Amino acid sequence: MEKAVLLNDKGLTPETILSAREAVVNMGKELIERKLVAGSWGNISVKLADGVYAVTPSGRGYANQKPEDIVIINAACETLDGVLTPSSESKLHTAIYNACPEAKAIIHTHSIYASALAAMRKPVPAIIEDIVQIIGGRVNCAEYALPGTQELADNAVKAMNGRKGLLLANHGAVCWGKSLDDALIVAEILEKAAQIAIICQSCGGAVELSNEDAEIMHNFYEEHYSKRQLGVEK
């Protein structure tokens, strides 16, 4: 009863919550199709309001996921609504929302090339323009911590450095966006950049863009290009 009142207090109607759950389910299928996750690995969340998030359940495959499987949690990762156990990486998600008020959705992938750099504990260098436009520049690899721990969440926040993505050492990638679709673009661009970086490393290395150029391109993307993609600017 108390939890239902809390959701109501945040202006969240059953319809809003259902549509967030449906969006998370659909994104799970998208991630499988785009080979960014496999089986039940990785996880997805969206922010419904301050301190209220819809997150994928722990250990359940994406292929047959239903909206009611998505768990509504609070900032302490306690279940507000739902019957399944929330993702074991819920702390990682809430820590990023807490550190980044702009973040409205988070996708954690185990995509191959990002994971390969994460296994080497190397960053994704800023060697291609789209990674700096969309993500902001070089993407750091966080210090190693065991999965599901507060330490992993804390290390991830430290590694973000104003970017929309980071690598988790020996684990995978985490990306946030201003919407689920935005987070998906970040995840795809990060994976592509990681693949290009590995190709370049095997052929003598690439030249990294300067911080100054990266900032100019990222600011232009944020100020104009992303708005054109959304149709709010001509």
How many CB atoms lie under 10 A from the CB of residue 202? 8
| Cα(114)–Cα(21) distance, integer angstroms | 27
Q: Which two tokens stand for residue 92?
A: 């990682």
Q: Smaller CB distance to Zn ion: residue 108 or 163? A: 108
Q: Which region among 65-73, 78-86, 172-180, 189-197 touches Zn ion (by CB under 5 A)?
A: 172-180
Q: Which region among 57-65, 152-160, 164-172, 217-225 touches Zn ion (by CB under 5 A)?
A: 164-172
Catalytic residue among 89, 188, 212, 215: 89
How many CB atoms lie under 10 A from the CB of residue 223? 10
Q: Min. distance of Cβ 41 from Zn ion in angstroms?
A: 6
Q: Smaller CB distance to Zn ion: residue 8 or 150? A: 150
Q: Which region among 13-21, 167-175, 195-203, 214-222 touches Zn ion (by CB under 5 A)?
A: 167-175
Q: Min. distance of Cβ 102 from Zn ion in angstroms?
A: 23
- Inter-axis angle of helices 180-201 and 14-33, nearest 10: 20
- Residue with CB nearest Zn ion? 172
Q: Are 55 and 87 in contact (CB under 8 A)?
A: yes
Q: Min. distance of Cβ 216 from Zn ion in angstroms?
A: 34
Q: What is the x/- site pattern for Zn ion, positions 120-159, by CB under 5 A?
A: ----------------------------------------
Q: Smaller CB distance to Zn ion: residue 98 or 170? A: 170
Q: Which region among 10-18, 47-55, 166-174, 195-203 touches Zn ion (by CB under 5 A)?
A: 166-174
Q: What is the x/- site pattern for Zn ion, positions 9-48, by CB under 5 A?
A: ----------------------------------------
Q: Are 51 and 90 in contact (CB under 8 A)?
A: no
89 catalytically annotated: yes
| Cα(92)–Cα(87) distance, integer angstroms | 10
Q: Smaller CB distance to Zn ion: residue 39 or 205? A: 39
Q: Smaller CB distance to Zn ion: residue 57 or 172? A: 172
Facing residues of 173 across strands? 109, 167
Kindly determine how many residues on this chain lie close enough to bind Zn ion according to the rule CB under 5 A.
Answer: 1
Give the interface with Zn ion as residue ranges (CB under 5 A). 172
Q: Which are the catalytic amino acids?
A: 89
